[in-house]
Amino acid sequence: MKMRIAFGLAAAATMALTGVPAAAQGANEDVKCLLAANLFVKAEKDPTKHQIAVLSSYFYLGRVDGRLSGAQLTAAIKAQAPTITPQAAGPIMTACAKRLQSAAMAVETIGKSLTGKK
């Protein structure tokens, strides 16, 4: 089951790099999610939540990498870092993980439709 989720998340990250869902979310939100995920990668002790943070980090890194130059990324990180406060980090990470989950589910649905599985 974990491998299936990992493949779904990897597929979602690939889909994000193609730009399909990228228009729906601004680069600043992606940077904010990347920062929150990285914070949770370092701080989260629960193995399941830590894994979600790691996968989120990769997902949002892929989205940011496909959209921003190095200078743009630096500027966006400087602008968004102050928004990741201890009080805001949890709700931000929750919203970002839900967005990732939605993308993974969409890719899984597409995959099922292509293979005829229901």
Query: CA 67, CA 51: separation in Å to the nearest integer?
Result: 25
Neighbours of 26 (CB within 10 A): 12
Pull the structure tokens for residue 8.
């779904």
Pull the structure tokens for residue 118.
């229901």
Q: What is the pLDDT along the chain (118 residues), one digit of tens a residue?
A: 454 554 454 444 444 444 444 433 489 999 999 999 999 999 999 999 999 999 999 999 999 998 999 999 999 999 999 999 989 999 999 999 999 999 999 999 999 888 876 5
Query: CA 103, CA 58: separation in Å to the nearest integer?
Result: 13
Query: CA 38, CA 17: separation in Å to the nearest integer?
Result: 19
Contact 100, 9 (CB under 8 A): yes
